[in-house]
A = this chain, B = another copy of it.
Amino acid sequence: MQIGVHKVAMAAPNDVSELAKLIDNGTVKADEIVALIGKTEGNGGANDFTRGYATSSYQTLLSRHLSISPDDVGKRIAFVWSGGTEGVLSPHATVFTRSAAKGKASGSRLAMAIEVTRDIPPEEVGTMAQVREVAEATRRCLAATGITDPKDVHYVQVKGPLLTPATIADADRRGKTLRTRDPNGSKAFARGATALGVALGLKEVAEGDVNEDAIAKRFDLFSSVASTSAGGELKNCEVLLFGNSPAATGDLRIGHGTLRDAIDADGVRAALKSAGLSFNGNPTEEDARRIVAVFAKAEASPTGAIRGRRNTMLSDADINYERHARAAVGAVIASVTFDPAIFVSGGTEHQCAPGAAPIAAIVRV
């Protein structure tokens, strides 16, 4: 296979003009698009409708080009949005295309696969059943990309369901027991279970170590490459796996690193080097032009302090801590890559060690 990666800026959540241009001028073939991962300029909270508006707007655009209904566009293409462009973060979408291999493969190149699980009913959200379904989907992705060594996987984005008042009521009607009855509280279980699913699928944790009690609790168990989110609109889990495969052609490679905290510029540099960018000290502007996309998670330190200094993210009643964290992490990454159009999202249960967060980078070799 060959994966194409195109970053398009957005002047508003419904601004799809840059992708429209790429399609019109032949740079992107609409029928090769498999996924969009992007940032929208909402608040990132429960009342952030910019994500839905962006999805709806791109679906309408692609509906015209693919001659299918907007709903069918949603079934065919994966949309992953994170709301909240705090600090310097810039609204944008990274568009992924997949086509047949072009020419002969020489060295491992960026590969990706998308697999979905069966529907996860509310009583399975945050349970081992969900962990195992995601692990299985992760393994199918591995097979689809032709990656044999899980170490060649650098970024696994998972979207799955959380509990809502409606699904809780549904479980009640059917007499089912839930991990929690708190919709907001279910996010940690949902994100945690899907992250552990990735960890299991990639053998980052041993089968015997993961059990129901460990989910959203034993944070020494984690994946270093999973990036998971949970949304009330989903019924099943969608797994997008990225790695380097000997079967893939093109000039893109992916790598990853770990941000040990919100100001870890070394972690950013390590991710770039892992992807194949070479530089001394810091990338020059010329080096940086070879960075195609960066995907990171951001989280407030669970201790309320970074490098021994207290911060006020967790006690701020005006600005949610996720917004503080994204503002900081986004600026630090952009200070190394010179590009503020970065995917930075919140919530890191079982995604790196507590307080740490994963970062992946795609570069042109």
The answer to the question of A114 belonging to the interface, with a C-beta cut-off of 8 Å to chain B, is: no
Check: A286 CB closer than 8 A to any chain B CB: no
Q: Is the CB of B86 within 8 A of A263?
A: no
| Residue A107, interface by CB 8 Å | no
Say whether B91 contacts A310, CB under 8 Å. Answer: yes
Is A206 positioned at the interface, with any CB of B under 8 Å from its CB?
no
Residues of B within 8 A of A85 (CB): 311-312
**Contact of A13 with B45 in the complex, beta carbons under 8 Å:** no
A104 within 8 A of B: no
Interface residue ranges of A285-332 to B (CB < 8 Å): 306-307, 309-313, 315-320, 323-325, 327-332
Q: Which of B49, B90, B309 sits near A311, CB closer than 8 Å?
A: B90
Q: Does A144 contact B (CB under 8 A)?
A: no
Known pairs A263-B340, A328-B327; A14 contacts B317 (CB<8 A) = no
Interface size on A, residues (CB 8 A): 64
Interface positions, chain A 45-90, Cβ under 8 Å from B, are 45-50, 52-53, 56-57, 85-90
Q: Shortest Cβ distance from A355 into chain B, in angstroms?
A: 12
The residues in A between 100 and 122 inclusive whose CB is less than 8 angstroms from any CB of B are none
Q: A91 vs B282: C-alpha distance in the bound complex, in angstroms?
A: 30
The answer to whether A307 touches B339, judged by C-beta atoms less than 8 angstroms apart, is yes
Please tell me if the beta carbons of B310 and A282 are within 8 angstroms of each other in the complex: no
**A87 partner residues in chain B, CB cutoff 8 A:** 87, 262, 311, 313, 324-325, 327-328, 331
**With the chains together, A53 CA to B47 CA distance in Å?**
13
Q: Which residues of B contact A334 (CB under 8 A)?
A: 263, 306-307
Residue ID in chain B nearest A303 by CB atoms: B165
Tell yes or no: A280 within 8 A of B by CB. Answer: yes
User: A338 in the interface, Cβ–Cβ < 8 Å?
Assistant: yes
Bits for A322-358, please: 1 = Cβ < 8 Å to B, else 0.
0111011111101110111100000000000000000
27 contacts between A and B (CB under 8 A): A9-B309, A13-B53, A41-B316, A43-B317, A44-B317, A45-B315, A46-B315, A47-B315, A47-B316, A52-B53, A56-B56, A86-B319, A87-B328, A88-B309, A90-B309, A262-B331, A263-B338, A265-B265, A265-B282, A265-B336, A266-B282, A281-B282, A282-B282, A307-B339, A318-B318, A327-B331, A328-B328
User: What would 8 more interface pairs be, CB under 8 Å, given A13-B49, A87-B313, A306-B340?
Assistant: A13-B53, A14-B52, A14-B56, A48-B317, A91-B312, A307-B340, A309-B339, A317-B320
